Chain A
Amino acid sequence: DARVTQTPRHKVTEMGQEVTMRCQPILGHNTVFWYRQTMMQGLELLAYFRNRAPLDDSGMPKDRFSAEMPDATLATLKIQPSEPRDSAVYFCASGLVLSQNSYEQYFGPGTRLTVT
């Protein structure tokens, strides 16, 4: 039963600290996404990779957030420095795009981040 895994599941940190969230996409998937979910804003797309290349990070605050895929089995999302307004649940998702009409996306369990 292939799944997207995320670590850590929970993170509490102080303002100004660096936070790194990790994601292992489903083997063979060619797209990876990072989302942020808050009560106020709902589900926001932060970044999107296809075949490990970043295609869209327009939803991400550039001054403090960065997303990378060092290899096909690992995606990372970093926040430096973190701020209380970054508190949210961060989801990674992976998918396989075969055609416009053949596409599915699977989500990880999320990392709940609290910045105090």
Chain B
Amino acid sequence: GDSVTQMEGPVTLSEEAFLTINCTYTATGYPSLFWYVQYPGEGLQLLLKATKADDKGSNKGFEATYRKETTSFHLEKGSVQVSDSAVYFCALGPDTGRRALTFGSGTRLQVQP
């Protein structure tokens, strides 16, 4: 069935380091892909999305490119801040036979000053 696999966390980085959080998916059809972020004590917030192959989603310095050939949607940021500490979720969008978002297990990012 459809699924999303994210790298295990926590990911611990120093401020201004480069961030990559890997996400790969298995899906039928050509779903949209999303990254959501959850700050402590809050709900999930949409961070960025891409709707078709080779699209790049970007927001707040984060980027992810929809790679159909490798079925991946890795999240990157060139220079992380302490305020980026959160849990990041990769998700597949709805498609034929799949009514709702399919979420990965989440990756916790801890950024140290």
A→B interface (CB under 8 Å): 4, 31, 33, 42-43, 45, 48, 50, 55-56, 91, 93, 97, 100-110
Contact mask for chain B residues 1-32; partner A; CB cutoff 8 A; 1 contact, 0 none? 00000000000000000000000000001011
Subset of 8 A-B contacts with CB under 8 Å: A4-B43, A43-B103, A48-B100, A56-B99, A91-B44, A101-B51, A102-B51, A107-B44
Contact of A103 among B93, B96, B105 (CB under 8 A): B93
**B26-77 with Cβ < 8 A to chain A:** 29, 31-32, 36, 42-46, 49, 51-52
Mostly, the A contact residues are: strand
Mostly, the B contact residues are: loop
Q: Which residues of B contact A50 (CB under 8 A)?
A: 99
Contact mask for chain B residues 94-113; partner A; CB cutoff 8 A; 1 contact, 0 none? 11100111010110000000
Known contacts A43-B89, A48-B100, A56-B99; 15 additional CB pairs below 8 A are: A33-B100, A42-B103, A42-B106, A43-B103, A56-B100, A91-B44, A93-B43, A97-B94, A100-B93, A100-B96, A101-B32, A107-B36, A107-B44, A109-B43, A110-B43
